[in-house]
Structure formats: C-alpha cells, structure tokens
Structure 1
Amino acid sequence: MNDTVALAEAALARTSAPRLRLGDPVDLGGSARSQVLRCRVDVGERAGDGAGAGDGAADGLPSTVIVKRFLSDDGAFVRETAGLDLCPGTPDLLAQDAENRLIVMSDLGDLPTLADLLLGDDHDAAWDGALTWARALGRTTGSTRGRVDEARSRLAAAEPWDADADLRTGLDRLLDALPSTDDGQERRAAIEAELAAARHLSTPGDAAVVSPTDTCPDNAVLGPDGWRFLDLEGTEVQHAAFVAAYALLPFATCWCVFDPPPGLTDQLLAELTAGLAEHAPDVVAAPGWDTAVRQACAIYLVVVTGWLWKSTMAGRELVGPAGRSPSYRQLMVSRWRWGALNLRADLPALSAAFGDAAAWALDTWGPGVEPTGYRAFR
C-alpha cells in the first residue's frame, strides 16, 4: 500500500500540482487484478508535516482522491485511462503512470449505486433511479461518437477481446445442456446461422460508440448532478446496440441479476434509446435498431453461458456479494428463460435452445434454482 501511495504522489508531481501529498490510504477492495485506495490529499513537503502542510480542500483542491493500480493487466490500464478521458459522466483523470499501471482520479464519495436502489426497500426510488440511469447511459455513450477514431487509436495498445472464441465456447456449453437428439447437427447449424446474421454488429460503422462496457448497477453512483459511471477497465468501441442490451436484458454481464418486474425493461430501453437519440438520432431511427438490440442480447446470453458454465455446473452459491446476488444457477436459468421468451421472432432456433436449457436446468437442479425478483419490487 505504501508503495502504491508513493507512486501516486510521484504521478501527481508530474502534473500541475507537484506539492500534493497523499495520506491515510484506505483499501476499497479492488479485485484480484487491481488495488484501489482512497487517500487524503495534503499540501506540503510531506503529508502530515506541520508548517506548509494542510488539507487540500482548503486550497481549492480535492480533499480525497482515488488511486487505482492494475497489478497484472496492461490492457485494463489502457482501457480505463481511455475511458476516463473520452467518456463524460466519469471521474476526472488527475494523473497516470503507464510504467506502473497506476491512475489517480477524482473521488466521487460514498454515493448510492443503482444496485443499492434495486436491492433496497423503496420501490419508487428504484424504479425512477433505473430509468434515469438508462437515460444517462444512453446520453453518455452517444456523446462519444465524435471520439471513436481517437478511442480506436488509443485502445490499439490493449489486447482485443476475442468475442468469436467466447461465442463458440458459449454455444458449445449451451448445447451441452440440451438432450441428445438425431437432429443435433441441424440444430447447431440453425443457431450458428442466426448468430452469423448478427455479425454485422462487429463492424458498427456509424453506430459505433465508446462504451465502458461493464455498465452494471454497482458501477453507477447517483450524486447531486445525476449518474456517474465507474470501473472503466473494459472500455471499448462497440455498436450502440450492445449498450442498449444492458437495458433490455437487463445488465448483461453483471452479478446483480434478478427478474425485473413487468414493464421495467421496456421503459429502460425507451429511456436509453432517448438518451442515445440526443447524439445519435440516425442510429436509433434505423429500421433494424430493435432487431440489432435483440441480437446483441443474444450474443451476450451465449457468451455469458460460456463464462459462467463451470461455476454454474459446480453449483456455486454467490455470483456477487452475499445477500445481494443470486446463485449461479438462478442467474443462468433467468438468462436462458429470458432468451426463450424474447428472441423468438429474430432467433427462433436459439430461443428454442434457451427454453430447452432452462427446462433441463429446472428438472436437473430442482425448484431451488427458480429466479427471484429484485428486492425493491417484491
């Protein structure tokens, strides 16, 4: 921790505030890939010195900052710095150290997340918060259209995501959950043809935006000026339909996944689309927009099946924090059931496979894997 603080001070010294010193670091958890600290800001020769040292807030500087150090992933550092620079509605990037994969950013404080609202007791606050989150996400990503080329240039230094490989693995695992039949090869071919029809999303053209990608409920905080988005280490240039999929599914790759109440996701998609339309009206007005969003959802569902397969088969109880997340099996059944109900018109073969997988899971694992709703809407 002391080494990280020293590196952060050195990074700040190379900016316009060379006399900033950091003290009282608090570990905010991070992950296996990163260390995240909140540090008090002082001004002076050394944090805590008497004469010449003082609270940064008194000098018009922030009283605390967030320091994030990536421990093993050069690409995550590249993506997060690009996202902080290019996406509005995110913390301010104050300093960076590429050699040590470290960034210093503004501290937004201890604000409620969308996950807090959805898992709380206030129905109206959760419903209204989710809708304003969706509008803010659409507005934020839509506003980046003019910076797509810059983002691609900067992200070239990060190893690209092999989406095709993850899609193949996910399809293999989905088919593993289906009963063996004589028409197995025909069924696979039909699903592959439907997924191939969605490949246009990988070359988004004018529909490209810069997105944090991991726009989960716990990565959005609600402050006095509205929603702000955190954790940008997955920043990517992608088709806007993949952003919209987070509203329709909802929350495509997240741990905070419960069954939404009727009507919520339709309103979420409408709000996100309206936010996008402020900057990209041509994208959301295109005849194939609704189909593209459902295709993006289908891709996420297949990919997530592969990502979570081992933990799901092992029956791991918690996808996220204890008491705040479903089990892996509950999440997977919820996702498969969603695909079965919502993809019939555009991807009928894949929809049928999701339905059969959900039926197999309930028959194999029992009623204990039935998905439940968000606490705020029960």
Structure 2
Amino acid sequence: MHVDTSSAQDDERVDGESHGNALAAALDAAELALANRFGSAITLSKPEDLAGSGPAVVVRATVASSPFSLPRTLVIKHYPEPDDDASDPFAAEAVSYQLFTALTSEDRMCPELLGHDVNHRVLVLSDLGSAPTLADKLRMSDARVAEGTLLSWARALGRMHATTAHREADFNALLRRFGGQPASEDTEAADSADELPGVLSDVLGVATPEAVAERVRLASRRLDEGEYRAFSPVDLAPENNLVTSDGVRFLDFEHGRVRNAMIDVAHLRVPFAFWRGALALPAGMSEAMIAAWRAEVTGIWPRLADDDEFASALLDSHIACVWTQTARELPGLTDASDTGSTSRAAALESWWRELAARADHSDTDGIAEHAASVAAAIERRFGPGLELALYPAFR
C-alpha cells in the first residue's frame, strides 16, 4: 500500500525553515545590538540552539570577526513581542542583567550583559560555557559534592540579596526605561489564605480553624510589608543555576523583580518547592543552607542576626510558601496516578509535615496542629508510602 508522506515532509520542512529563520533572526538582532554598543560591525556565525525554556530563542554564537576584544562565543536571547495582557519578560530580564552588570565582577553572579536592543528585543550575554547545573549535581552520586554545591548556592543567593538590597528604586527606574512597569505586590499568598481552606475541605476533608487562616493572612501581610527587600530571580529552579569554576551563577531573569528576600529563603527550608523535580534533602541540609544564606546578609540587615527576629520572619515565609504551593497543586492531584515517593503528593506531604514540626517548635496559633492534620490527610488520600525520596546524590 502506498502511503502519502508529502504532508509530513512538508511539515518537517516548514518547521526546519521556521527554526532556521528564528536562529538567523536572533543573530541579525544581536549583530545590530553589538554594533550599537561598540560602534562598529561585528559578525556572528555558527548559531547553536540552546533550547531555552522561556519565550525567547536562546542561541550560542561564535564571534566570526570583530575589531574589539570579545569572548570567542556569546549567548543571545531574542524575544517575541509580548502578549498585551502579560508582563514583559524581555524588560524584566534586560533590567535584571543591567542591574548586575553595573556591579563589580566579584558581585556579579550571572552572565555579563554585553549588548541589548529594545526595538529588536534582544540581549547579548557572556557565555558561561557548558558547566553543570545545580540540578546535575543533585542527580549525581557524590553526596559531598552535592552538599558543597548547595551551600555555595545558598551563599551566592545571600550575596545576591545583600548586593541588591536598597536598590529597588534603581531597578524600577530601569524597568520604566525599557517600557516595563514595576511589579505590583504578589497577592498569591493572601489569595491562598482565603482559597485553600475550601480546597483542603473538599479534597482532604480537613477543616481550617479561623485562627489558622488569620495567621496565614498575617504572614502574607508581613511578607508584603517586610523590610528585607532585594532582587530575586523568582525562578530558583536548580536547572537555572550553573556551577562554574568561579562559583554558582544564576540564569534566567525573565521573572526577576525586587521583593521580600525571605520568600526566597523559604525555598531553602522547603527546597525548590515550585520545581517539578523537587525531592528531599538529608537531615540538617536545609538548616545549613539557611545558615549560609544568613551569614551573607546580616551585614546589610542587622536585625536578622537576632534569632527571634529571624525565626519569626522565616516562619512567615515558610507558612506562605507551603500554603501557596498547595493551593497551586492540590486541586490537580485529585485524579493523579503518580503517588509514589517522587510524586508531588509525596512532596506536599513532606512540606506540611516539616511545617508542623517548625510551627510546633514556635508554638504558633494552631498552625502546627493544622499542618499535621493536613499531612496525615494527604497520606490517607494519596498514600500509603508517600515518604519523599532523597535526591540521587544523597541516596
């Protein structure tokens, strides 16, 4: 029987042409940005698609000819036009890189911005090469290397916060120059305080006392009003952190903004909660990471050297993180078939159990008892066997 494959072949050809055109457009835009930056033509060649996870086309290119001293290869991020109803990731990322490029090389924990063009929506960055990511280190079999990398990452996050504290006005001024608007305060934590009790009741049969819901609302207000504001990449997934010979480097600032740094610290206690690949860390690892972060920021925020002040601020962010992530994910787990030790159900159970332990230590407004009830209900609903697995490096 003859099968007509011309349509499939045509689709492949169109996709190939479209892909090739996208890479060529990225190179063209980058050459314009570099010419504007340096005042002379610079030729790029050999585009390599780096398959970015965001909206931008991400390309590694070779500097074929240049009258200036440039690295041998560069990374290009070329953005499509934004949706009318969406925030602009190009503006957020361009401003984020500009903020760091203005710092000394010792304080710049990301690629250097070498050129940009607002009209062509392109960024040209230094190339950090093919260094492994933090995610790669967690998937390897060397616990000592993984532990050292996690501590380095936590220290780097603290240095990022310390060097960008008190620079919110600078960030927002740059953002307006790029046509973006300063982000309004995130209401997701407050919304979760109002919405999650109904979800917990419907999915798990757990009632939420009003005192607990009010404590969560208080935590979200404190985060919004908190003084510990600094730049955050927001997306702290291990895949977005390169482990280079010069230390940990952060990538992908498409959601970058200034916010309460304690929101990021919650993701040391609830490790990488929003990342779909999140697993467990060995006992004591999270606290060691938190201590490493704290050591970097007490010079800029002396109040965090006080144990009671720090514990209170961290518990607020811990509560908000667990509630927010549960509101995002629990409704979608009602029909989930993946309920093993690496599942999101196992992750949620682990996070609520940890919240119960931390809140019990602080004797906080019924939070501990409620969190323990939620953890037990998740185990009943999606278990048995929801003990969250360790990352491969720690098994």
- Residue 42 (structure 1) aligned to one of 64, 67, 76: 64
> Is this contact kept in 1: 2:229–2:260, CA < 8 A?
yes
Partner amino acid for 1:62?
Answer: P
**Is 1:357–2:367 an aligned residue pair?**
no
Structure-1 separation of matches of 2:250 and 2:391: 21
> Is this contact kept in 1: 2:206–2:377, CA < 8 A?
no
User: Could you state the TM-score of these two structures normalised by the residue count of structure 1?
Assistant: 0.84
Structure-1 separation of matches of 2:31 and 2:322: 43
> Is this contact kept in 2: 1:209–1:240, CA < 8 A?
yes
How has the CA–CA distance of structure 1 residues 147 and 127 changed in structure 2, closer, same or farther, with 3 Å as cutoff?
Answer: same
The Cα of 1:340 is off from its aligned counterpart by 2.5
> Is this contact kept in 1: 2:50–2:60, CA < 8 A?
yes
What secondary structure is seen at the aligned counterpart in 1 of 2:282?
coil
Structure-1 separation of matches of 2:121 and 2:364: 42
How has the CA–CA distance of structure 1 residues 310 and 330 changed in structure 2, closer, same or farther, with 3 Å as cutoff?
Answer: same
1:264 corresponds in structure 2 to 285
- Residue 110 (structure 1) aligned to one of 112, 130, 134: 130
The Cα of 1:168 is off from its aligned counterpart by 1.7
> Is this contact kept in 1: 2:143–2:393, CA < 8 A?
yes
CA RMSD of aligned residues (A): 2.9
Structure 1: 5+ residue stretches without partners: 45-55, 319-324
Structure-2 separation of matches of 1:310 and 1:182: 13
Structure-1 separation of matches of 2:30 and 2:205: 61
1:140 corresponds in structure 2 to 160
> Is this contact kept in 2: 1:82–1:154, CA < 8 A?
yes
Q: How do 1:1-378 residues align onto structure 2 when only pairs under 5 Å count?
A: 1=22, 2-16=24-38, 18-31=40-53, 33-43=55-65, 60-71=69-80, 72=82, 74-87=87-100, 88-155=108-175, 157-158=180-181, 160=183, 163-165=186-188, 167-169=190-192, 172-173=195-196, 175-178=198-201, 184=207, 187-198=208-219, 199-205=221-227, 207-285=228-306, 287-315=308-336, 326-344=342-360, 345=362, 347-367=364-384, 369-378=386-395
Structure-2 separation of matches of 1:171 and 1:334: 23
The Cα of 1:356 is off from its aligned counterpart by 2.5
Partner amino acid for 1:118?
Answer: L
The Cα of 1:271 is off from its aligned counterpart by 0.4
Structure-1 separation of matches of 2:47 and 2:337: 33
How has the CA–CA distance of structure 1 residues 22 and 181 changed in structure 2, closer, same or farther, with 3 Å as cutoff?
Answer: closer
> Is this contact kept in 2: 1:167–1:302, CA < 8 A?
no
Partner amino acid for 2:71?
Answer: P
Structure-1 separation of matches of 2:318 and 2:169: 25
Structure-1 separation of matches of 2:197 and 2:120: 40
The Cα of 1:362 is off from its aligned counterpart by 2.0
The Cα of 1:97 is off from its aligned counterpart by 2.4
What secondary structure is seen at the aligned counterpart in 1 of 2:140?
coil
- Report the count of equivalent residues: 356
The Cα of 1:331 is off from its aligned counterpart by 2.6
> Is this contact kept in 2: 1:247–1:272, CA < 8 A?
no
Partner amino acid for 2:73?
Answer: T
Structure-2 separation of matches of 1:182 and 1:354: 13
> Is this contact kept in 2: 1:76–1:234, CA < 8 A?
yes
What secondary structure is seen at the aligned counterpart in 2 of 1:246?
helix
The Cα of 1:183 is off from its aligned counterpart by 9.9
Partner amino acid for 2:126?
Answer: S
Partner amino acid for 1:253?
Answer: F
The Cα of 1:166 is off from its aligned counterpart by 5.3
The Cα of 1:283 is off from its aligned counterpart by 4.1
The Cα of 1:264 is off from its aligned counterpart by 0.7
Structure 2: 5+ residue stretches without partners: 1-21, 101-107
The Cα of 1:161 is off from its aligned counterpart by 5.4
How has the CA–CA distance of structure 1 residues 301 and 18 changed in structure 2, closer, same or farther, with 3 Å as cutoff?
Answer: farther
How has the CA–CA distance of structure 1 residues 233 and 249 changed in structure 2, closer, same or farther, with 3 Å as cutoff?
Answer: same
> Is this contact kept in 1: 2:326–2:348, CA < 8 A?
yes
